[in-house]
Amino acid sequence: VAQMRLLQRVPKLGDKLRAWAALKARRIAAAAVMARGKPLDAKGRRQQLEHVFGEEAKHLAAFARRTGRLPSESGTGQAGRSAAFLTTVLQGLRGSSTAYPPALQSLLLEVLVLKKCLSSAASKRCRQQGYCCPNTKRQRQECDKALVALQVARFPVQSTRLNVTVDDGANADALPSGLSLGMNLSLRHGWTVSRTAMERHGELVRALCRLIREVNPNFQFTSIQVNKNFSTALHCDANNLGPSVITCLGAFTGGALYVHGRGEVDVKERFYEFNGNVPHLTCPFKGERFCVIYFSNQSYAKLPAKDATYLKKLGFNWPSPGRSKEDYGPRAPRLLAAAAALPPALADRAGPISRMCKGGTGTKWLSEAARNAKAAGNAKAPRKNRHTLATTKRRR
């Protein structure tokens, strides 16, 4: 009954649940196929990534030669994939002219109108990014209070965030531990606020809200994601609307934020505003690290008014009505373009190659791997004769 009510309150949620279940099944199948075969080393993974990148670049070049223009971001199918892929490639080239290896740059040169696009549609998404450091005495005091509240809080394992791990949660020692405070999606109640969790971590919630209001009082947010000692793989935030603000507290070294097209950004005790829809990851670190991200959920208008009022009383700066999210295209080609531009020291943070294939599930790659595994199995096992099988059944 609860599931039926949820399906009525959240449109198309049933399709999303079935898609998530299918995605999980395909990733499990991919892990099984890889387990039966020989594990790839760093060189093998890089060759696999360059092969998939080259295929996507060839699709883009073929579209440009066939139509005489670049694909539109509002396109569907392969055109939409190519548009998202190109936008992310341009972000990488803006960050560094040598972001991609020479082998991949030669593929991109096939698109003759690539340079013309650098100052047009792709640059519209380039948001001015910068730091906001706690300089005043009161801001530093709020940072200290927030750190104390973080240190005494308990952080459970978040099994719903395995998509930001390097290996889809296969390593039990690297599972994400954290808290999702504010607006969330519940399978029982739809878009709602877990008042039990908010009351359990009331002091932490109020401290984090005071901190962001003291540092950046005009920033609007509906949710706060807190990660403890967890390093995310290359990913794009799915439900974020507009910019996000990130800061990290604690006694640690390393742990910078890597943003595609920008590079590594030091966020220790600094507040950095960035676009979570651009591929990003966490650099390796040592020590105790608390990462706090403030963002707005794209479905904030669907939250019941009583829950929005409850969050406002706690200190959430609720977004103004009428905001909508831009169309960034599918995530798989964006992750593929960003993974190819990763520096060698972060190459192992790209995540499974199945996330970067068509549909983000690796369907084509999985089918090819399954066919190869099946062919290898058939070559080893002798084929049985139908007559022999029928004779055996009659004897039984």
Please list, in sequence order, all residues whose beta carbon lies within 8 angstroms of the beta carbon of residue 168, skipping any fewer than 6 positions away: 27, 31, 162, 352
Q: Which of 58, 95, 65, 27 is nearest to 356 (CA)?
A: 27
The CB-side HSE value for 84 (13 A sphere, CA atoms) comes to 28
| Residue with token string 């295929």 | 55
Q: What is the pTM of this model?
A: 0.70
pLDDT at 380: 45
Q: What are the respective helix, strand and coil percentages of the chain, to the nearest 5?
A: 50, 15, 35
What are the C-alpha distances in Å from 13 to residues 4, 104, 329? 11, 39, 20
Torsion of CA 165, 167, 171, 176, to 10 degrees: 10
Of 264, 261, 396, which is closest to residue 338 (Cα–Cα)? 261
Note the pLDDT of residue 135. Answer: 66
pLDDT digit string (tens) for 97-136?
Answer: 566 776 666 666 655 445 444 334 433 433 344 566 666 7
pLDDT tens digits for range 13-42: 667 677 777 777 766 666 665 555 556 677
Task: Specify the pLDDT at position 325.
Answer: 86
Per residue of the chain (396 residues), what is the pLDDT tens digit? Answer: 565 566 556 666 667 677 777 777 766 666 665 555 556 677 777 777 777 787 787 777 777 767 766 777 666 777 778 778 777 877 776 666 566 776 666 666 655 445 444 334 433 433 344 566 666 788 889 999 999 999 999 998 887 787 788 766 566 556 788 999 999 887 777 888 988 889 999 999 999 999 999 999 999 999 999 999 998 999 999 889 989 999 999 999 999 999 998 899 999 989 999 999 999 999 999 999 999 999 999 999 999 999 999 999 999 999 999 888 888 888 888 898 899 889 988 988 888 877 777 555 444 444 444 455 545 555 544 444 444 444 444 444
**Pair of tokens at residue 6:** 């949820």
